[in-house]
């Protein structure tokens, strides 16, 4: 059984309500329940969301030496946060960067990520399935 954390950053608590034409109209709780059910035999999936950069860093420190993998959607901090990049570098758990939207098809500022170079891989543009694909990658591609 692998221990996996899904870590969501700012404004992702508003999934389902926020810009539904970009992020869809399903809240994250429903997605989480579905993932926990689907992977129940292979992964123990926990979840944390915060709108605060420091809280996300604290969570990375807390889980990053113990968990088997972290699925991180850092929201807009992806494009701004050297501190989150340093935290990912500091821990031992592999981190997969995910985005619901295709950040390369949007505004220019979303094309740069401070996190991509220090993550194991990046998945973006598949809606909420981006999280599922990241979990599959952490479980070894099955
Ligand atoms: C996002 C993309 C980011 O650019 C944006 O700031 C978000 C969500 C995504 O999941 O598509 O908050 O990470």
pLDDT in tens, 28-62: 999 999 999 999 999 999 999 999 999 999 999 99
Catalytic residue among 47, 61, 79, 99: 99
Query: What are the backbone angles phi and psi of residue 112, rounded to the nearest 5°?
Result: -100, 130
Cβ-in-10-Å burial (0-12, 13-18, 19+) of 140 comes to exposed
Which of 18, 77, 78, 106 is the pocket-test mutation for ligand 1 (most atoms within 8 Å of CB)? 78
Question: For residues 6-25, b (16+ Cβ closer than 10 Å) or e, as one string?
Answer: bbbbbebbebeeeeeeebbe
Please, are residues 40 and 100 in contact by the beta-carbon 8 Å criterion?
no
Cα–Cα distances in angstroms (integers) from residue 89 to residues 12, 15, 65, in the given order:
23, 28, 12
pTM (2 decimals)?
Answer: 0.96
What confidence tens digit (pLDDT) does each residue in 81-134 have? 999 999 999 999 999 999 999 999 999 999 999 999 999 999 999 999 999 999
- For residue 115 and ligand 1, the question of a CB distance below 6 A is answered with no
CB atoms within 10 A of CB 142: 5
- For residue 123 and ligand 1, the question of a CB distance below 6 A is answered with no
Catalytic residue flag (residue 99):
yes
Which of 110, 116, 128 is the pocket-test mutation for ligand 1 (most atoms within 8 Å of CB)? 110
């Amino acid at each position: 059984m692998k221990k996996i954390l899904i870590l969501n950053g700012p404004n992702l608590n508003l999934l389902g309500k926020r810009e539904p034409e970009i992020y869809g109209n399903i809240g994250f709780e429903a997605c989480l329940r579905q993932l926990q059910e689907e992977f129940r035999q292979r992964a123990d999936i926990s979840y944390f969301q915060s709108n605060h950069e420091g809280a996300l860093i604290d969570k990375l420190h807390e889980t990053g030496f113990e968990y088997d993998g972290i699925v991180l959607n850092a929201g807009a901090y992806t494009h701004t946060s050297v501190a989150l990049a340093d935290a990912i570098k500091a821990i031992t758990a592999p981190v997969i960067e995910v985005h619901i939207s295709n950040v390369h098809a949007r505004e220019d500022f979303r094309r740069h990520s401070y996190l991509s170079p220090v993550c194991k891989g990046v998945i973006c543009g598949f809606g909420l399935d981006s999280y599922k694909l990241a979990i599959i990658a952490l479980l070894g591609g099955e």
